[in-house]
Structure 1
Amino acid sequence: MTKKRTLDLDKVVNKAMEIIQSDGMKSLTLPRLAQALDIRTQSLYNYIANLDELTSLIGAKLIDEMCQKVKDGLVGMSDKRALYKFAILARQYLISKGNLALVFFALHSFPEDSQFGISAHKLVDLLDQVIAASHFDKSAQTALSQTLISSVLGYVFIETSNFYVEETPEEIESNYRQMLKRIIGPIEN
């Protein structure tokens, strides 16, 4: 009797994410993924075209999850408080993903019409909506969006790369909030 396969694209993506989470981005290869799924490497091509497409799907899934977490966390919020909350939730999400957060830094190598690029635009659109609702000058909104995204990703990169090992978790959190205050400005009570 032959073994019935219940493999689908979601299972392939999830298994790839497990590999990255446990051993890092460089550890994800199609042969290793096939072995983890107990299939032949050639069988992966029934689900994905190549490793780039798989990485794009992983990135899209991560961004979509982050967008949902941010949306859920912003319910009922507006003005600068919502921007602070956006940045705090984004950082928390990225930190919680460990090695998977490094997938975000591969976005630059994917076209805008890839799944990864499409999801990234959704995240930027969400941030732009929060910025617009925060009553910032319209001419400053794009620069604020770019600065905030760059700062959050950059801070997470530095934080997870252990550049500042002498800092306590409290100091890291305080420094992050100070950075946000400089970008967004103080919150009025």
Structure 2
Amino acid sequence: MLLSDRKPRSTLAGFRLVPTLLLAGMLCGPCAAVRAEGAGPPPVDACALLTKADVDAVYGSVVGEPNGKELGSGPFWVSMCNYDNAHTDAPMLSVGLLVKPHGAADPAQAYADYVDELRRELGEAAVPLPVEGLAGPAGWDADTGQLAVFVGPYQVILTSLGRFAGDRLSLAKPLAERVVGRLPKP
């Protein structure tokens, strides 16, 4: 079923699940390791990594100004940015980015820990499908429209929701590539 074929109630149900998965990503086990070590990459600005021009170009839809937020400090921080087109008459579109340090020794271990945590906390249905062709281990959850990518010391979660033409994963991947290309090199 295409997202555009869903009834509005189904779309709203997806919005309630997104915060749950983002919270699971933020609270996963590797974060405790980052806090314990006292080291990690410096905070980054999610809205600088994913720009309005990026979203407009990939989705072919004009979105509003970014809504960004940073939480935490030191080795434990989270940066978020969201774009939407609520100010237009176009079909609803919301694209969000969450970036944080993953705290594991390497991206592959961080991804494995992330999948294990989702499985343990939310069940097998929450485990993302592996995605090839990105800069690091990645997983896609079609139900929530979330693409999680682990690169260097960072965990990147890109979320796309709404009614738009095209496969959500094929649209999320070029955005993820742009974001990953802008991450600081350790």
TM-score exceeds 0.5 = no
| Structure whose residues are more often strand by fraction | 2
Rg larger in structure? 1
| Structure whose residues are more often helix by fraction | 1
Query: Which TM-score applies when normalising by structure 1?
Result: 0.28
